[in-house]
Chains A and B, each alone.
Chain A
Amino acid sequence: QLQLQESGPGLVKPSETLSLTCTVSGDSISSSTYYWGWIRQPPGKGLEWIGSINYSGTTYYCPSLKSRVTVSVDTSKNQFSLKLSSVTAADTAVYYCARPMIRGIFARGGFNYWGQGILVTVSS
């Protein structure tokens, strides 16, 4: 059974860098061709796609966040990570990692496996 688990600090100071890791179990990032994704949801608001990465490190980012976002993969640990720099209160959200329905083609099939989400609050 595929499981994804987000981890990282729940509190980040303004102007600092938010760093999260998604640990995957039940599937191997290196042997599959999925575009693993990060999605966030501010409290009481809608979903926003942040970025996606595949096993070889090919990345795609939300245009409005691209200047501040880095998504990376560590196949030896079966993890992928998110870094968001220069955070403000507007970056306070539940951050989810997810795996799409269809392998190989970015954004084709939606995300059918999600982590439980981690609330990250930006505050001094």
Chain B
Amino acid sequence: QSALTQPPSASGSPGQSVTISCTGTSSDVGAYDYVSWYQQHPGKAPKLMIYEVSKRPSGVPDRFSGSKSGNAASLTVSGLQAEDEADYYCSSYAGSNNLVFGGGTKLTVL
């Protein structure tokens, strides 16, 4: 069982927006602004999409945005495109030099 809870699946049509949630506790997501999001296509290594809750690394489209409220973080993908279909994982610093991941969400572009 993963430390952070994500919905197993999410979907949306091209051009729409979809939001993926990542629920933790007051010891991890709620305590630190060190939430990251990764995109992973089949057979590939994960790619960092969001760090420190809402910052985008260079090269990541601004269609990807992150936020946090209380013990839950969210990743929103706007203007869905076919290439956004992938697995998405959140991670958070959990204190005591520990890092935890979510179980992952499979995003389907209909």
The interface of chain A, by Cβ under 8 A from chain B, is 37, 39, 46-49, 52, 60, 62-63, 96, 101-102, 106-112, 114-117
Question: In this assembly, does B99 line the interface, its C-beta being within 8 Å of a C-beta of chain A?
Answer: yes
CA distance A92 to B52 in the complex (A): 31
Q: Is the interface of B mostly helix, strand, loop or mixed?
A: strand
Task: Please determine whether A107 and B99 come into contact, CB atoms closer than 8 angstroms.
Answer: yes
* Residues of B19-51 contacting chain A, CB below 8 A: 34, 36-38, 45-48, 50-51
Tally of A-B residue pairs with Cβ under 8 A? 68
Which residue on B lies nearest to A106, using beta carbons? B97
The interface of chain B, by Cβ under 8 A from chain A, is 2, 34, 36-38, 45-48, 50-52, 57, 89, 91, 93, 96-104
> Given the complex, which residues of B lie within 8 Å of A96, measured CB to CB?
45-46
> Given the complex, which residues of B lie within 8 Å of A115, measured CB to CB?
45
Chain A nearest Cβ from B18, distance in angstroms: 19
Answer whether A110 and B98 are a contact pair too, CB < 8 Å, given A96-B45, A101-B48, A117-B45. Answer: no
Chain A nearest Cβ from B103, distance in angstroms: 5
Which residue on A lies nearest to B46, using beta carbons? A114
